[in-house]
Amino acid sequence: MSAGAGLRVELRQEAPIPLAVELACAPGELTALVGPSGSGKTTILKAIAGLYRPRQGRVAVDGEVWLDGAGRIALPAHRRRVGLVFQSFALFPHLSALGNVAAAMGHLPRAERTGRARELLRLVHLEGLEGRRPAELSGGQQQRVAVARALARDPAVLLLDEPFSAVDRATRQRLYREIAELRRILGMPVLLVTHDLEEAMLLADRMTVLHRGRTLQSGTPLEVTTRPASAEVARLVDVGNLFAARIAGRDADAERVLLDWHGRPLEARGRPPWPVGARVAWVIPDGFVVLHRRDRPSRGEHENPVPGRIEQMVVLGQTARLTLRPAHAPELPIRFSVPLHVARRNGLAAGVEASVSLLAEGIHLMAEAEDGRAPP
C-alpha cells in the first residue's frame, strides 16, 4: 500500500461529542467499527462523508484531502466521493429504485445515467424491480437499492452504517455474502459500522474498537478478540473470562510469566513490562480452555489445571456452553464451550465435578483497567 492509498482518518475534539479517532483502511479492505451505541461510530462516518464537521481532524482518501483542520480544507458533502448506506437506508420515497440510484449520478451525462443505474441494480440482484418505489420493496430489497445508490457516484470509499440491522436474519446472511463478494469486485476501502461482533468477525479484515468517541484498538478481528489491548477492549468485544491476577514471577529468557490467580498458580507466555508483584488483568478466550477427559487423564493436563464444578450447561445447536466454578475461587466462573458430543461423552451436566486446562499461549495479560473497573 503506497503512502496515500486508501482512507486515513484522524478526528479530535473535546465537545460537544468527544472524539479521539485514528483509523486507516486500505483499498479493498473492510474495516469494522465496533462499539456500544453512543460510542461515536455514526459520527465518524458522518465526519468522513462531510455531514458532520469536527473541530479538528484530517480526512484523506487516496491522497486527496477532504478535511484538514490545520489547512482549513473542508469539502462539502456533495464534493466528497463517498458512498454512504444509512442505517434506515434513507431512500428517496418519491423516486423509484432506478430513480434513487440515478439520483446519485450527477457526475455522469444524463443519457448515461439510466443505463448505469440499471447495471448497478443488476449487480445487487434487483433486475425487474427498477420501477418500484421504496415503499413497495422489502427491507432487504431497500437495503440493496441503498447499496446500489451508494455505488452510483463511483465512490472512493464506501461507508456502511449498520446496514444489516433493519433486515431479518435470513436476509442478513444472504446480504453478508453479497457484501463480501462486492468488496472483492470493488477494490475500495469499506468502513462498516456495527455493534454486532459476529458480523464484524465474519466480514471484516480489520476491526477498530471504539468507546466514547475514542479508538481503543485496531487490528484483525482475531487479534482484537484474543489479544485485546486493555481490559476495556476485552469487555467491549465481549471476550469473556476476564480476570485479575498478580505477577508472581518471571523468566525473561524462556518468555514465561508466573501468575498468582487468587492463590492458584498459572503460567503464561511472553515478556510483559510489569514487575513481580504488579496487578494485571488477563483474559483467556473460549478456544483456549480445554476440558479434561473425565474417564481417563490425558496429555496436557499439567498445563494450568483448574478443577471445579460445572454450574451450568446450555445447549445451543451442536455446541454446549459451559460455566465452571473453580474450586479455589467459585466466585470467578470460567466460560467455555465444547461440541455437544464431547459434553455427552464426558457426562457433563450442571453440578458435576470437572477440570480444565487454561492453555498458557491463550492467556493474554493487560494493564489493569484504566476506567477504574478492575476485573474480579
Residues that bind another protein (CB under 8 A): 46, 49-51, 76-79, 81-84, 86, 88, 90-94, 103-104, 106-107, 135, 149-150, 152-153
Q: Kindly report the backbone phi and psi dihedral angles of residue 292, in degrees, each rounded to the nearest multiple of 5, phi listed first.
A: -80, 140
How far apart, in Å, are the Cα atoms of 195 and each of 82, 163, 164, 302? 22, 11, 11, 39
Rg over CA atoms, the chain: 25
- Complex with another protein: residue 159 or 245, whichever CB lies closer: 159
Helix (H, G, I), strand (E, B) or coil at 233: helix
- List the one residue out of 191, 202, 184 whose CA is nearest residue 150: 191
Burial of 41 by CB count in 10 Å (0-12 exposed, 13-18 middle, 19+ buried)?
Answer: buried
- Complex with another protein: residue 104 or 363, whichever CB lies closer: 104
- Complex with another protein: residue 51 or 258, whichever CB lies closer: 51
Query: How many angstroms separate the CA atoms of 338 and 324, rounded?
Result: 12
- Complex with another protein: residue 107 or 174, whichever CB lies closer: 107
Q: Kindly report the backbone phi and psi dihedral angles of residue 230, in degrees, each rounded to the nearest multiple of 5, phi listed first.
A: -155, 165
Shortest separation between residue 90's beta carbon and another protein, angstroms: 4
Shortest separation between residue 97's beta carbon and another protein, angstroms: 14
Shortest separation between residue 121's beta carbon and another protein, angstroms: 15
Q: Give kind and range of the element (H or E) at residue 171.
A: helix 169-186
Shortest separation between residue 147's beta carbon and another protein, angstroms: 13
- Complex with another protein: residue 148 or 338, whichever CB lies closer: 148
Shortest separation between residue 104's beta carbon and another protein, angstroms: 4
